[in-house]
Chains A and B, each alone.
Chain A
């Protein structure tokens, strides 16, 4: 299908936004840059998460598992391989892991999937801890010359890829199949859609992207150990941010990531022990006030204004 003028306009606008974002390391100080890295990281994670969970309604808590695997790919691989090969390797390992998880669970109902994905991160963490105990090593030092700005640019590039991919999927038969599955899985099956295959294929996206994100961020941590790389909090943060923004649009998660990152930053500085409380409160807000996230709220406001003749 050919691109419409609106498509071109959106592409141009996104390109400009990206170019502007890429200037951040030169324009602002190091504190702004570190916030920028955090926002870029969560944007990548939440957007790719929403690509899968939005249409399928499966809540994946496996982000930490894929992310952790990615950090270990860099942590272990940096000694032996050139850095640029590590990101694709992390992507492939993430995708393979996602395919295995998908094959094992995506035929089951959503509840099993949530529990399984939550358990996955914990399981891999335990395996690595056990392996370290056996081999007598502790954490791994990731010493590179990669700077914060490099990490930021890589994340921006990955974000651009995720948006392009999401946009392409949205226009594809797979995207159409997923919308049908999200509406009524029974109708989907009886219309000839291989629902399990479609879901597994789509699950490769967050799996692979989260692993690459972990691989990109490993140098930032300098020292990685299982409890850091596989922190379950990450999975929950990603879910909350994506739902807060809304999964109905490609840009939805970004709208959740930005305010949440600042809120999180503020809370961590002022009352460092209350971050879990923040997570819980956000969850309540989403469930009770913003079931479709900011995206849904904008939609409602626009409709109201439209019906009053304001737009």
Chain B
């Protein structure tokens, strides 16, 4: 089986800092891949490289076998990679429905008019916001802003969804809702890269994990295996301040 998304030797330098160092991994169709690692290990940067937010320094990224390494973000989005941001980004002058329509109109599957609106409504239902389309985004609770962003991402019917700490900052009750939501996406057969710090969520949601430390991949395998790996434990506990 060939990979939906594959990274080969993907590297990003910021001046002297190697933020992402020769990353290699594949994501299979319908797979939820956890991308984990301590703070500053390069997870968000990796998502930025995949989504085209930043140009790669070297290496290759392919979506279903065709290279997307040098493409600008908008072309990558159109080919079917959609993402959320670590710090939620909504469109402040638009209501909830319009925010979601942005994904439906310009994403991987493009629609317009009533059709786009219908898709956006469906996505709002899916994330648990039905009937709130008319609300201003400023009126939303924190978890609801995250839901709107997720609905926008899903509205373009992407092939791969990149979630950057989508569960971060939620309180315990919200966390349950959030995990259930992502599990629902997983059960739909979505292909997802999940960047997370919440271990319980990683264990219950991910098929496989890639662990990063200081920009490089240090482990890969099932959540249970990698979380038991001594090198991973050492990276998380942090003896790198010596």
A residues engaging B (CB < 8 A)?
1, 173, 176-177, 179-180, 182-184, 186-195
Contacts and interface: CB of A to CB of B under 8 A. Distances in A.
Interface string B109-127: 0101110000000000000
A190 B51 contact: yes
A194 B105 CA distance: 13
Interface stretch (B71-79, B128-136, B181-189, B216-224): B71-79
Contacts of B85: 186
B105 A190 contact: no
A182 B102 CA distance: 13
Given A190-B77, A190-B82, A183 B92 contact: yes
Contact of A189 (B77, B93, B110): B77
A302 to B, nearest CB: 16
A176 B105 contact: yes
Contacts of B101: 176
B94 to A, nearest CB: 7
Contacts, number: 70
9 closest cross-chain pairs (CB), A and B = A192-B77, A183-B91, A192-B106, A189-B73, A192-B78, A191-B106, A193-B106, A189-B74, A191-B102
Interface string B64-94: 0000000011100110001101000111111
Contacts of A188: 74, 102, 106
A187 B106 contact: no
B49 to A, nearest CB: 13
B22 interface: no
20 contacts: A173-B112, A177-B106, A180-B106, A182-B93, A183-B92, A183-B93, A184-B89, A184-B91, A184-B92, A186-B89, A187-B90, A187-B102, A189-B52, A189-B74, A190-B73, A190-B77, A190-B83, A191-B74, A191-B102, A192-B106
B159 interface: no
B37 interface: no
A193 B91 contact: no
Contacts of B77: 189-192
B195 to A, nearest CB: 15
Nearest to B77: A192
Interface in B181-211: none
Contacts of A184: 89-92
Most chain A CB atoms below 10 A, which of B74, B94, B152 = B74
A22 B107 CA distance: 45
A192 B113 contact: no
Given A173-B112, A180-B91, A186 B53 contact: yes
B94 A179 contact: yes
B215 interface: no
B43 interface: no
B42 interface: no
A45 B72 CA distance: 34
Given A177-B105, A187-B102, 13 more contacts: A180-B94, A180-B102, A183-B91, A183-B94, A184-B91, A189-B53, A189-B73, A190-B74, A190-B82, A191-B103, A191-B106, A192-B78, A192-B107
A147 B234 CA distance: 85
Nearest to B106: A192
B147 interface: no
A192 B89 contact: no
Contacts of A183: 91-94
Interface string B17-35: 0000000000000000000
Contact of B74 (A173, A182, A194): A194
B76 to A, nearest CB: 8
A176 B82 CA distance: 19
A184 B152 CA distance: 14
A183 B92 CA distance: 6
Contacts of B52: 189
Nearest to B82: A190
Contacts of A179: 91, 93-94
Contact of A187 (B89, B108, B113): B89
Given A1-B113, A179-B93, A191 B108 contact: no
B178 interface: no
A191 B152 contact: yes
A194 B71 CA distance: 12
Contacts of B73: 189-190
A57 to B, nearest CB: 12
